[in-house]
Structure 1
Amino acid sequence: MKVAWSSALLLALAAESTVASSWFGTKAVYNKWHETELERWLSDHNIPYPKPADRKDLQNTVKQNWNAKIAQPYNDWSAPQLQTYLKQKGVQTQKVSDKNKDGLVKQVKGYWTESADSASNAYGSVQNWIFDSWTESQLKSFLDKNGIPAPQPRRRDTLLATARQNYASTAKKLNEYSAYPGSWLYESWSDSDLKEFLDARGVPVPQPSTRDKLVASVRRNSRLASLTLSEAAASASSSATAAKESLSDALLDSWSDSQIKEWADKNGIKVPQGSKRNELIALARKHRSQLVGDNPASSVSSAFGAATSNAKNEGSSVTEDAQLKSEDAFNQAIGTWSDSRLKAFLDARGVPAPQSGKKDELVKQVRLNKHKAATGFSAWTFDTWTVDNLKGYLSNQKNKAAKKSSASREDLVKAAQDSYSSASKSGGSNYASVTSYLAASTATAKDTTFDTWTDSELKAYLDSYGIKTYQGTKTNELKALARKNAQYFRYGTNSPGGSLWSSLSGSAQWVLNQLKIGAASGRKEGVKGGDAVKEAGTTATHRAGEAKQRASDKVKEEL
């Protein structure tokens, strides 16, 4: 009894020690940071601090803002970002402006799972999650740039493990700090990589964009990206478990008595003589683990496991494959654009148009800059504004065009563009007034894009891209075509909002559908279903590899 009591006491003391250690560690994780890291964290989260500042002042400023920025970051999100998060959770919301987003914040809070302690603990071991959202090529580039031998075989999971293992030593080698990483971590990323990361997760790209601002935004959102992948993995795992259960039941119901006996013999399960069907099924269910592991369902089950068990590690690969399709669609679209629209795309990004003026040269430049962020506001800001938005802007600028009842949308766009160009050239308070108005109005203008446009306005807009429409095209079709090309014009190959989650969820759902098909069709079809899933997965992998190679060859050819 004394031994048992001593053991219990030791366990209790150990548990208490662990809790205490965890409590002190999570509450003061930033106390171990260097002054540079404290300043970096404050800058990343747009928190002002005195310069120069001593360590104590910096720590106190971080402490005052830590919980709000780390445990409840959604309070600072824009309305679209809040809606993107809720959409990932399967919650449908109505469009609201940033001025009226309190309801969205409350909804997000209800779905938020990370506590202050878990968030703080995470920042005690950044290397364990900072690489989660990196693509395979980005991990490989990081290793190459820092002279770290890439593992064999070069799969994403092995590259990820190697990057994590060498994170701290790489920072030390570069004389950098690693508790809260600096820009050194993203040296192998291009500006387009940084923007693409933000676009794929519905995070507003800083305007105007600089590399430092892009890095800060990526770094600030990397923890959320890791959590999103973790949730996707958990969801996929849960779906896999449920699918295996339902699959085994469905298969048993479809098997004949002789098929069940055959399976039992193969697995060394004794079947009493004269067993009735219900007894056979009960016996099979008792040995469900063998049923899932050694029958036609296993091929489907293992295929599903391959697609879902490592969802966290493979998520970025799924996104890469989806990106290939996106880039292919983008390339096809710009191939039909007019020269003026191609030049406008480059102009909106501050990229000089080729002097030759040839269409193939314009297309080449657009492809090369497909991930480049648009440079703040420009004359192209008004490209998709409604008549009411345009009149509001022109009235604010006291432009006479706003009062002309006969003015078409094209006339108003031209007047707005001219007004903006004039203000940007003159600068000063006039330009400041213009940018202030645009900052307050642009989000509203985007939310209502094309909703109130007439067919003639939609056709005129598409005509600016060189896209011809035929008589009888339905309004919804015109709007869909206009939105697609407008998205390409604004964001290149990416469109903001939940694409990562959609890729993961869509992949898991597709495999689940294959499982259901295999189960419903019985043993014979189960084999076919399993083979089909394997074959489809192999084919998809080959096609993705071929597409990547073609894209690489094409870029080399164009360069």
Structure 2
Amino acid sequence: MRLRSLFTLALATNIAVGTSTWFSKAAYNKWHENELERWLSDNDIPYPTPADRKDLENLVQKNWDNYAVAPYKNWDTEKLTSYLKSKGTETKGTAEASKDSLISQVQSQWYETEDKAQHAWIDTKDWILDTWSESTLKSFADKHGIPVPQPRKRDTLLQQVRSNYQSVAKKAGQAASYPGNWLYETWSESDLKEWLDVHGFPAPQLTTRDKLIATVRRNSRIAYLKSQDQLDAAAARANAAYGTLTDKIVEAWGDSQLKEFCDKNGINGRCCMLCIGSAFS
């Protein structure tokens, strides 16, 4: 049952633990004043300077739903239509479909519920690192002296960096809920641009390093949700493909044949790595 077990592992890593009941206070209520300003700045929301914490918090609250919980509410019709097509939903021409109608359709097919979106912002370390490349995780671990057992594979690196995330921030005297540029200190400008390109976000033109970091940070949640959605789809294809095989055939395969099977059935990226993990251990 070798492949069945591996596919089960891949699925298990992507099954939501469950939605917790949303608490009475939003995550940003506990943010440092600098984090409130950073979030507003990242989302191009003007705020007065100087401003007291209450004014900043009220401004974040006013914009929170449209930027953090349901960001698609700020999308134009082209982007809304593109998202629906990516989910297999054909829409009428944008001239015929109202923006409100498109937003309603996207909302019904969004990656997560509003309750889960709210809950996710309680602890950003649970997801903000997931879309990092192996090389950026290695650089972060090395920079901050985070021990990573051999072999230093991506999943091990991710686990160790996430476990030490809070302590690194504390040691540097930095806030960690909506992290500043310290989190991307080891990223080069090419790393930042590559991340944006890989995840389908246009890099700002005539930009600075700070603007690149802000763009990566602002889009990290959507990139994470998109990657999880792709993993779930890959796992579903794996299960469907496995249904055409027998355990006896699969047990006779070597690692290279398992990898070839994954490749032929479009099971790529992290899901494939999980499914054939023994080939890389």
TM-score category of the 2 structures, normalised to the smaller one: 0.7 to 0.9
- Does 1:298 pair with 2:54? no
Counterparts of 1:134 and 1:198 in 2: how far apart (Å)?
A: 11
2:106 corresponds to: 108
- Does 1:156 pair with 2:109? no
Q: 1:212 to 1:102 in 2, by over 3 A?
A: farther
Q: 1:93 to 1:140 in 2, by over 3 A?
A: farther
Segments of 5+ residues of structure 2 without an aligned counterpart are 1-18, 269-274
Aligned letter for 1:202? G
The alignment covers a number of residue pairs equal to 253
Counterparts of 1:153 and 1:200 in 2: how far apart (Å)?
A: 26
Counterparts of 1:124 and 1:244 in 2: how far apart (Å)?
A: 38
Aligned letter for 1:24? F
2:120 corresponds to: 122
2:182 corresponds to: 184
Give yes or no for contact 1:81–1:203 (8 Å, CA) kept in 2.
no
TM-aligned CA deviation for residue 305 of structure 1: 7.9
Aligned letter for 2:28? Y
Aligned letter for 1:59? E
2:137 corresponds to: 139
Aligned letter for 1:68? N
Give yes or no for contact 2:27–2:118 (8 Å, CA) kept in 1.
yes
What SS does structure 2 have at the residue aligned with 1:166?
helix
* Among candidates 215, 218, 222, match of residue 217 of structure 1: 215
Counterparts of 1:210 and 1:64 in 2: how far apart (Å)?
A: 28
Counterparts of 2:227 and 2:256 in 1: how far apart (Å)?
A: 20
Counterparts of 1:307 and 1:34 in 2: how far apart (Å)?
A: 49
Aligned letter for 2:210? D
- Does 1:64 pair with 2:62? yes
Aligned letter for 2:148? A
Counterparts of 1:188 and 1:85 in 2: how far apart (Å)?
A: 32
What SS does structure 1 have at the residue aligned with 2:151?
coil
Residues 109-128 of structure 1 show CA distances to partners (whole Å, capped at 9, x for unaligned) of 33213222211211111111
Q: 1:102 to 1:210 in 2, by over 3 A?
A: farther
Q: How does 1:246-257 map to 2 (within 5 A)?
A: 246-248=244-246
When the two chains are superposed, the root-mean-square deviation of aligned CA atoms in Å is 3.4
Q: Say which structure, 1 or 2, has more relative contact order (CA 8 Å, 6+ apart).
A: 2
Q: 1:95 to 1:197 in 2, by over 3 A?
A: farther
Residues 115-157 of structure 1 show CA distances to partners (whole Å, capped at 9, x for unaligned) of 2221121111111111111110111011112222333111011
* Among candidates 46, 50, 53, match of residue 52 of structure 1: 50
TM-aligned CA deviation for residue 224 of structure 1: 0.9
Counterparts of 1:120 and 1:508 in 2: how far apart (Å)?
A: 38
Q: 1:80 to 1:213 in 2, by over 3 A?
A: farther
1:24 corresponds to: 23
Counterparts of 1:508 and 1:110 in 2: how far apart (Å)?
A: 32
TM-aligned CA deviation for residue 508 of structure 1: 7.0
* Among candidates 226, 239, 261, match of residue 241 of structure 1: 239
Give yes or no for contact 2:234–2:267 (8 Å, CA) kept in 1.
no
Give yes or no for contact 1:198–1:205 (8 Å, CA) kept in 2.
yes
1:202 corresponds to: 200
Aligned letter for 2:250? A
Counterparts of 1:153 and 1:63 in 2: how far apart (Å)?
A: 44
Counterparts of 1:89 and 1:153 in 2: how far apart (Å)?
A: 37
Counterparts of 1:155 and 1:89 in 2: how far apart (Å)?
A: 31
Structure with more of its chain in helix, by fraction: 1
Give yes or no for contact 1:29–1:124 (8 Å, CA) kept in 2.
yes
Aligned letter for 1:509? N
Q: 1:508 to 1:173 in 2, by over 3 A?
A: farther
Counterparts of 1:147 and 1:217 in 2: how far apart (Å)?
A: 27
Give yes or no for contact 1:151–1:158 (8 Å, CA) kept in 2.
yes
Counterparts of 1:223 and 1:193 in 2: how far apart (Å)?
A: 18
Counterparts of 1:170 and 1:299 in 2: how far apart (Å)?
A: 46
Counterparts of 1:106 and 1:195 in 2: how far apart (Å)?
A: 32
TM-score, L = length of structure 1: 0.41
TM-aligned CA deviation for residue 301 of structure 1: 11
TM-aligned CA deviation for residue 52 of structure 1: 1.1
Q: How does 1:335-414 map to 2 (within 5 A)?
A: none
What SS does structure 2 have at the residue aligned with 1:153?
coil
Give yes or no for contact 1:23–1:117 (8 Å, CA) kept in 2.
yes
Segments of 5+ residues of structure 1 without an aligned counterpart are 1-18, 249-291, 309-505, 513-532, 542-559
Counterparts of 2:121 and 2:167 in 1: how far apart (Å)?
A: 17
* Among candidates 230, 233, 236, match of residue 232 of structure 1: 230
2:74 corresponds to: 76
Give yes or no for contact 1:70–1:116 (8 Å, CA) kept in 2.
no
TM-aligned CA deviation for residue 237 of structure 1: 2.0
What SS does structure 2 have at the residue aligned with 1:246?
coil
Give yes or no for contact 2:22–2:118 (8 Å, CA) kept in 1.
no
Counterparts of 1:121 and 1:151 in 2: how far apart (Å)?
A: 31
TM-aligned CA deviation for residue 91 of structure 1: 4.5
Q: 1:49 to 1:307 in 2, by over 3 A?
A: farther
Give yes or no for contact 1:71–1:114 (8 Å, CA) kept in 2.
no
TM-aligned CA deviation for residue 243 of structure 1: 2.6
Counterparts of 2:252 and 2:75 in 1: how far apart (Å)?
A: 44
Q: 1:511 to 1:150 in 2, by over 3 A?
A: closer
* Among candidates 234, 240, 265, match of residue 509 of structure 1: 265
